[in-house]
Amino acid sequence: MIRGIGVDTVDISRFERQLERTPALRARLFAPAEQGLSLASLAARFAAREALIKALGGSGSLGWHDMAVARGDDRAPFFVGGAALTDALAARGADRAHLSMTHDAGTATAFVIVEASA
């Protein structure tokens, strides 16, 4: 059963200006494994975090690193957040977060569905 849906779009050039103005922002927003990715990939991951917050109905006690994004062997993106993310999902009555991301033509977009398996 779907417990929440979230979507977010990021203007990549605006996001780039923010990272240039505040160099420490990259480390604050992104897990070490994400920090070396391309600008477009970082913007998509930021959109993913924002979409997840919307799907959960708020960030609660989640920090930015609790919403890290990785890719599986099949290249499908997923959240890597450990206990904090598991707790946030449970508070929403869910146990899974589905993620889709894209970037093209200067924008990055992410879509999240928060679901209860049973």
Report how far apart, in Å, the C-alpha atoms of 98 and of each of 12, 36, 116 are: 23, 24, 11
The enclosing H or E element of 82 equals helix 82-91
Annotated binding-site residue? 50: yes
How far apart are the C-alpha atoms of 79 and 118, rounded to whole Å?
Answer: 20
Annotated binding-site residue? 11: no
Q: Which residues line the annotated binding site?
A: 8, 50
Q: Which residues line the annotated binding site for Mg(2+)?
A: 8, 50
